[in-house]
A and B are shown apart, each in its own frame.
Chain A
């Protein structure tokens, strides 16, 4: 497992453990007591590191190459899943996966940004950065969900919508904007999870939800900390300050009333145990869908509208 820069103290301990193991095998010596001691120490260090993560460190956890991806989570969470492809206009965007799925009594449409775990897969998935056809595929699937009374589940994990020439030519802005408007009108519940990076409009493009959850080490921001640092601080290296200033961590997003809950992650991050994380998400989905079962179509739509309508902080002497 790749260790992050701030996990360096752990790397040293893990090295030591590996050395002792090797020594114990090669020299046929029993070093289990020693090894256990260092393992205990490593666990303690890990706990110390992970209870005091800075926002910038959380960003690194959110971007960890082994963090659970949308496709894997879908297969862990749902009983059945059939992937569907294409926007019927231009192409099929591998940066967004989606399809129909079942979970116990529920039929749903599920989709999300798809990153890879290695360079090859990441290139295929465009690092989880959709082109307009990705958003249009998502919209097509959501419209189908609305037609067939299927709740919509979305997983958000993108650095942002792709900034490229062709993306602009095909209307990246229009594709995202249309999703924002259409999602506001659906009469089936939409439940979204930020599982890693919630990168700006590219994230929101599938995130106009009735209920929004953040994984504990996920982040959600209007611009990447690096982007913010280079524009406002005139120095991309100040991304740690920008990450702090923008309030992008799960507790902050909940505090601002944008997210409704946090899905806990195992110590050291979600990449250490995909299964545990998928179970927590599954429970949240079931609980939410049960709640929405009793609401009328109009109530579902109104609840979503009211939620977004209330977002904003300003001074209004008239109130």
Chain B
């Protein structure tokens, strides 16, 4: 985009909001079709644009509300928090970045994990939060995902993970890379125990997250239009020096290339998960 385009776009958008004179928390503009939506309508539609079906990114709290039986979610490992063990400093210190993200989100790191039920079926679950430092995977994310899987190795409840992450957290250096191996190793143990794992890939799921637990589901479900990739589009464009085709690395592209089992509308997800898990799980006595 040239700087002139940018100004043109900026002028246009300020123009429309002035014309409508709307406070931001009551109305929201669809990122995809530009339709002005009543915030309450959007929320009652699980943050899917009623006009074009665009799936907005959602918080773990929303995800829990849309997916699990009411009041069944019990959070685990919420007390685990990140530490700046490399004393990493880029344009600001990792310590400050952590503090800001924590005070903004009220959470310790980029994943919320725990237990819940879907249509009465108990699961262990983890939900990534893109709003927390781009959902990046550092030690805390890796540890909580691993503990979630290990709980299922013990209690045989299926694992459902919702991914939304830009990849590894660079501020934790090599340790963030190793979380890919740690989480994947736990999944090897889970497979050995014949416990189902469903990965729901949400926008975006890239880099180290996509190249570890996110793509390793017994069943991979993608939300419509989600960016799912190993290398980011910009990196590829720089490498091959050409523009990428439209829809490249989106959910539907992954479905066409055999990387996900289905692309499922968020409003259907609860039902789909329930059906899949009921069918997949080996009938057995709980190990407790």
A contact residues vs B (CB 8 Å cutoff): 161, 163-165, 167-174, 176-178, 180-185, 200-201, 204-205, 207-208, 220-223, 227-228, 231-234, 242, 245-248, 253, 256, 258, 304-305, 308-309, 311-318
Residues of B within 8 A of A183 (CB): 181
Does B48 reach chain A (CB closer than 8 Å)? no
- Asked if residues A185 and B192 are in contact (CB atoms below 8 Å), the reply is yes
Does B174 reach chain A (CB closer than 8 Å)? yes
What are 7 inter-chain pairs, A to B, with CB distance below 8 A? A163-B236, A171-B258, A180-B181, A181-B187, A204-B180, A222-B208, A233-B91
Docked pose: A178 CA to B182 CA in angstroms? 13
Residue ID in chain B nearest A208 by CB atoms: B181
Residues of A within 8 A of B7 (CB): none
Q: Which of B37-45, B78-86, B115-123, B274-282 lies at the interface with chain A? A: B78-86
B contact residues vs A (CB 8 Å cutoff): 79-83, 85-86, 88-91, 138-140, 142-143, 146, 168, 170-182, 184-189, 191-192, 207-208, 210-216, 228-232, 235-236, 239-240, 244, 248-249, 257-259
- Asked if residues A308 and B216 are in contact (CB atoms below 8 Å), the reply is no
Residue ID in chain B nearest A199 by CB atoms: B177
- Asked if residues A222 and B170 are in contact (CB atoms below 8 Å), the reply is yes
Known: A204-B181, A246-B173. A314 touches B81 (CB 8 A): yes
Known: A165-B236, A204-B177, A256-B175. A315 touches B216 (CB 8 A): no
- Asked if residues A234 and B91 are in contact (CB atoms below 8 Å), the reply is yes
Docked pose: A248 CA to B89 CA in angstroms? 15
Taking a contact as CB atoms closer than 8 A, the residue among A163, A169, A185, A233 that contacts B257 in the complex is: A169
Docked pose: A258 CA to B176 CA in angstroms? 11
Residues of A within 8 A of B138 (CB): 314
Residue ID in chain A nearest B144 by CB atoms: A314
Q: How far is the CB of B82 from chain A (nearest CB, A)?
A: 6
- Asked if residues B139 and A314 are in contact (CB atoms below 8 Å), the reply is yes
Residues of A within 8 A of B88 (CB): 245-246
Given A163-B236, A180-B184, 5 more pairs with CB closer than 8 A? A165-B236, A177-B214, A177-B215, A313-B83, A314-B140
Known: A184-B184, A315-B80. A309 touches B146 (CB 8 A): yes
Most chain A Cβ neighbours within 10 Å, of B216, B228, B244 = B216
Docked pose: A164 CA to B229 CA in angstroms? 11
Q: How far is the CB of B273 from chain A (nearest CB, A)?
A: 21
- Asked if residues A248 and B231 are in contact (CB atoms below 8 Å), the reply is no
8 smallest beta-carbon distances between A and B, as pairs: A163-B231, A184-B185, A312-B139, A180-B184, A232-B90, A173-B230, A172-B230, A173-B210
Docked pose: A70 CA to B65 CA in angstroms? 52
- Asked if residues A311 and B215 are in contact (CB atoms below 8 Å), the reply is no
Residues of A within 8 A of B179 (CB): 311-312
- Asked if residues A164 and B172 are in contact (CB atoms below 8 Å), the reply is no
- Asked if residues B170 and A174 are in contact (CB atoms below 8 Å), the reply is no
Docked pose: A43 CA to B80 CA in angstroms? 52
- Asked if residues A168 and B231 are in contact (CB atoms below 8 Å), the reply is yes
Known: A164-B236, A169-B257. A317 touches B79 (CB 8 A): yes
Most chain B Cβ neighbours within 10 Å, of A174, A223, A234 = A174
- Asked if residues B80 and A181 are in contact (CB atoms below 8 Å), the reply is no
Known: A228-B170, A311-B179, A311-B182. A174 touches B79 (CB 8 A): no
Known: A165-B240, A177-B213. A313 touches B185 (CB 8 A): no
Q: How far is the CB of B154 from chain A (nearest CB, A)?
A: 14
Residues of B within 8 A of A304 (CB): 185
Docked pose: A182 CA to B249 CA in angstroms? 25
Docked pose: A252 CA to B260 CA in angstroms? 38
Residues of A within 8 A of B188 (CB): 181-182, 184-185
Taking a contact as CB atoms closer than 8 A, the residue among B86, B184, B213 that contacts A247 in the complex is: B86
Residue ID in chain A nearest B229 by CB atoms: A168
Docked pose: A316 CA to B147 CA in angstroms? 13
Most chain A Cβ neighbours within 10 Å, of B171, B175, B231, B236 = B231
Residues of A within 8 A of B90 (CB): 232-233, 242, 245
Residues of A within 8 A of B213 (CB): 177
- Asked if residues B82 and A315 are in contact (CB atoms below 8 Å), the reply is yes
- Asked if residues B216 and A181 are in contact (CB atoms below 8 Å), the reply is yes
Taking a contact as CB atoms closer than 8 A, the residue among A220, A246, A258, A309 that contacts B185 in the complex is: A309
Docked pose: A279 CA to B257 CA in angstroms? 45
Docked pose: A184 CA to B248 CA in angstroms? 32
Docked pose: A159 CA to B145 CA in angstroms? 28
Most chain A Cβ neighbours within 10 Å, of B179, B180, B212 = B180
Docked pose: A300 CA to B103 CA in angstroms? 43
Residues of B within 8 A of A247 (CB): 86, 173-174
Most chain B Cβ neighbours within 10 Å, of A181, A204, A315 = A181
Q: How far is the CB of B67 from chain A (nearest CB, A)?
A: 24
Residues of A within 8 A of B180 (CB): 177, 180, 201, 204
Taking a contact as CB atoms closer than 8 A, the residue among B177, B184, B191 that contacts A200 in the complex is: B177
- Asked if residues B79 and A316 are in contact (CB atoms below 8 Å), the reply is yes
- Asked if residues B168 and A223 are in contact (CB atoms below 8 Å), the reply is yes
